[in-house]
Amino acid sequence: MKIIQVTPGYPPSIGGVQNVAKEISVGLANMGHEVTVFTCTNGIKDIKRQTEKNLTVYYLKDFVFAHTPVVPMLFFRLLLIPTDSIMHVHISKAFIPEIVYLISKIRKIPYVAHFHLDVEPSGRLGFLLPIYKMIFLRRVLKNANKVVVLSTRYKDLMKNKYGLTKRILVIPNGVGEEFFLAKRKTAVRDDFNLLFVGRVSIQKNVACLVEAVSLVKNKTTLNIVGEGELLLQIEKMITKRRLINVILHGGKTGKELIDFYRKADIFLLASKQEGLPLVLLEAMAASVPVIASDVIGNHEFIEDAGLLVDPPTPKNFAFMIDKLIEDRKLAERLSRRGRKKAQAYRWVKIVKKFEELYEGLYENN
């Protein structure tokens, strides 16, 4: 099959959507399918087309408007794809899904709308987002041959908010084999390593974790791994409060990232909203017990394999952190449950579900 992946980001750009797009694309290519990826440069200079067996990645120049990449050449590049292709658009930003919708109408090519997160308004132009969703995004979703969501709660959201009653399929995110190989270091000590991995943004609510660490009774170090628009603000917060036990490491990938999971005692996620965060899967696969905000995405996935914080305030996070540090039996129990739960989310199993989805679309078209 000829599969066209259209995504606002792809490695070496760092992020959850980027990693999902890569894992699906590489997995399908390894199965023998012809995969082409169209993505943005995301400010990375001198990035070139990547080509390997069955997989070609095109990085198209973009400019940013209202925190959203605009890719002028995407429409024209998609006009040239084979008509026997299937398009798969990763939805987390505006503009790109609408281009895929137009190409589908013009060239009669089916597409899958992969809905990653129902983003909330932010910034000066945030008031436009609800209008965009109701007029443009709703149309993209309703005209998709299939809409993929990450959980049953998001399936309900598709029905209640966007009026979709059919063609919705739940396929969760996956986790790579390398995280199962990250055997956690569990040496006895009096300083506990707390870990956050992700974008330092409003959505991820990192300030809550920084504040929580200042309230924790036990001796801890919070390692923040990631980049983002609020990084400078968090750095100022750390300096102002003289929190020498909060360390900013920047974005990490590969072996460096895995090493942070290996050294972590507790993984923290205070997001205001989520789809199904890859970092939770990664932490669980690496046997790191997790504490996360009780929001859509986290709640349905974690269940009894971690601790949920509701409401996700610094005080409540601090309480849960101390609880897990002081109850090592609970920590080990959550560690085992998390790893067992992550087993069902190996990427090889998830990519197979996408292959079956595409095969069904080929038969129907």
Note the Cα 280 to chain centre separation in Å: 10
Q: How much is the pLDDT for 14?
A: 86
Q: What angle do CA 351, 354, 357 make, to 5 degrees?
A: 155
Distance, CA of 362 to chain centre: 28
Map out the domains of the chain with their CATH numbers: 2-174+346-363 (3.40.50.2000), 177-343 (3.40.50.2000)
C-alpha 129, offset from chain centre: 20
What whole-number distance in Å separates Cα of residue 335 and Cα of residue 306?
A: 8
Q: Which long-range contacts (CB under 8 A, 24 or more apart) does 235-244 make?
A: 237/207, 237/210, 238/210, 241/210, 241/214, 243/210, 243/213, 243/214
Q: How many CA atoms lie within 13 A of 304 on its CB side?
A: 3
Residue type, 359: E
3-class DSSP state for residue 116?
Answer: coil
Quick one: three-class SS letters along 278-304? HHHHHHHHCCCCEEEECCCCHHHHHCC
- Sign of the Cα torsion 346, 350, 355, 356 reads positive
CA 186 to each of CA 17, 87, 177, 336: distance values in angstroms, whole numbers, following the listed order = 31, 45, 21, 13
d(CA 221, CA 213) in angstroms, rounded, equals 8
DSSP readout, 223-266?
EEE---TTHHHHHHHHHHTT-TTEEEEE---HHHHHHHHHH-SE
Cis peptide before 12 (omega within 30 of 0): yes
**Which stretches of the chain are assigned E, i.e. beta strand?**
2-6, 34-40, 50-52, 55-60, 63-65, 68-70, 85-91, 111-115, 146-149, 168-170, 192-197, 220-225, 246-250, 266-269, 290-293, 307-309
pLDDT of res. 187: 59
Contact 171, 357 (CB under 8 A): yes
The pTM (predicted TM-score) of the whole model is 0.88
pLDDT at 185: 62
- Each residue's pLDDT, cut to its tens digit, for the chain (365 residues) gives 999 999 999 999 988 899 999 999 999 999 999 999 999 998 888 888 999 999 999 999 998 877 778 899 999 999 999 999 999 999 988 889 999 999 999 999 999 999 998 766 566 656 666 667 777 889 999 999 999 999 988 899 889 888 898 899 999 999 999 999 766 666 556 789 999 999 999 999 999 999 999 999 999 999 999 999 999 999 999 999 999 999 999 999 999 999 999 999 999 999 998 888 999 999 999 999 999 999 988 988 898 999 999 999 999 999 999 999 999 999 999 999 999 999 999 999 999 999 999 999 988 87
Nearby residues of 347 by Cβ (< 8 Å), 6 or more positions away: 23, 27, 174, 175, 176, 177
First to last CA, the chain: 13
The whole-number pLDDT of residue 64 equals 83
**Contact, 8 vs 92, CB < 8 A?**
yes
Three-class SS state of 56 = strand
Q: Which 3 state secondary structure label does DSSP give 64? A: strand
Q: 154: exposed, middle or buried (C-beta count within 10 Å: 0-12, 13-18, 19+)?
A: buried
Three-state secondary-structure class, residue 270 = coil
